[in-house]
Amino acid sequence: RGKRAFIAGVADDQGFGWAIAKALAAAGAEILLGTWVPALNIFETSLRKGKFDESRLLPNGSLFEIAKVYPLDAVYDTPDDVPDDVKSNKRYAVATGWTVKEVAESVKNDYGSIDILVHSLANGPEVTKPLLDTSRKGYLAAISASSYSYVSLLKYFSPFMNPGGSSISLTYLASEKTIPGYGGGMSSAKAALESDTRVLAFEVGRKYKIRVNTISAGPLRSRAAKAIGFIDDMINYSTANAPLQKELDSDEVGYSAAFLASPLASAITGTVLYVDNGLHTMGVAV
Ligand code: NAD
């Protein structure tokens, strides 16, 4: 039986979520996506119009299929959590049932079970501000969208994940080393995500026999990264200083995720896997 994957955090063909979906599809998995509600229309339209066809091309010459796109906003767990101004916002009125609990219920109703859960999303409204200048609201928003969203996804999805299943998130070196420019509490959010990876690995490992790992990825020019503002500097820094002096290709993260999701990684859980050309090993710039 082929595996089924739900990948949260895909709204174009530029980010890690897309690359992971593609690598899992190439390995034979059925692909379900969770797309941020405000980005849903443009993503579905672009998909339908063939804008992503070039990047849908698999090594075997076919285009990878997306079985279903679910609208999702991972900062809300249940409809009760959605504030009135969001409910009435016309960017949110385009869809229904997009809180984490509702999406999980829809996936379960549509497909019964999944094998692979991927969290490839983050948001920090004050990411361009130094931590010292970050408001409490901005800090908590970063943690809510980038860290708790993963706890919530696992809480609602793992009960219908098949034993032996695998869950993966994406993290960044700024959790453990100071990277000026990655502000707004995003460094804190990634530290929480990595710590939660260990605790959740224990909890869902014992309860559901599911593995939980996170990939610490090197810099990629995704939509989210461009919003931070220093992505070109980070890519240049990595190319100059990492053991492997090449630009990271999102497919390299996709393949690593496919490995972690596969039986080849059946004893790996609770870990941070660095897919960053080795940059994290360096203590000085050379
Ligand atoms: P991306 O823009 O492709 O992905 C981020 C996605 O999160 C977007 O599709 C966005 O719509 C979605 N999103 C934001 N808030 C959401 C919410 N409340 N609910 C649902 N979806 C929401 O960018 P990316 O860089 O590929 O990011 C994917 C992951 O990789 C993130 O966790 C990011 O922190 C991590 N990462 C990125 C880099 C990098 O250099 N790009 C490096 C290391 C780790």
pLDDT, tens digit, 9 for 90 and up, residues 40-64: 999 999 999 999 999 999 989 999 9
- pLDDT given for residue 76 in this prediction: 98
- pLDDT given for residue 1 in this prediction: 72
Residue 266 belongs to some domain of the structure: yes
Per the CB < 8 A criterion, the answer to whether 133 and 179 are in contact is no
Per the CB < 8 A criterion, the answer to whether 146 and 37 are in contact is no
Residue 95 belongs to some domain of the structure: yes
CA-nearest residue, atom 35 of ligand 1: 170
Locate the ligand 1 atom nearest the alpha carbon of residue 145 and give its number: 18
CATH number, residue 193: 3.40.50.720
Range of the domain at 52: 4-281
ipTM of the complex model? 0.99
> Can 208 be counted among the known catalytic residues?
no
**Ligand 1 touching residue 72 (CB < 6 A):** yes
**Ligand 1 touching residue 47 (CB < 6 A):** no
Query: Measuring CA to CA, which residue among 202, 199, 241 is closest to residue 218?
Result: 241
Residue 236 belongs to some domain of the structure: yes
Q: For a substitution probing ligand 1, which of 121, 171, 233 has the most ligand atoms within 8 Å of its CB? A: 121
Cα–Cα distance measured from residue 259 to residue 212, given in angstroms and rounded to the nearest whole number: 13
Residue 286 belongs to some domain of the structure: no
Distance from the CA of 40 to the center of ligand 1, in angstroms? 15
* Structural domain count, the chain: 1
Distance from the CA of 1 to the center of ligand 1, in angstroms? 30
> Can 182 be counted among the known catalytic residues?
yes
- pLDDT given for residue 229 in this prediction: 87
- pLDDT given for residue 286 in this prediction: 87
CA-nearest residue, atom 16 of ligand 1: 36
Q: Average pLDDT for consecutive 10-residue bins of the chain (286 residues)?
A: 95 98 97 98 97 94 96 98 94 95 98 98 97 98 98 98 98 98 98 99 98 98 93 97 98 98 98 98 93
**Ligand 1 touching residue 220 (CB < 6 A):** yes
Residue 65 belongs to some domain of the structure: yes
The single residue of 156, 172, 208, 255 carrying the catalytic annotation is 172
Distance from the CA of 230 to the center of ligand 1, in angstroms? 15
**Ligand 1 touching residue 21 (CB < 6 A):** no
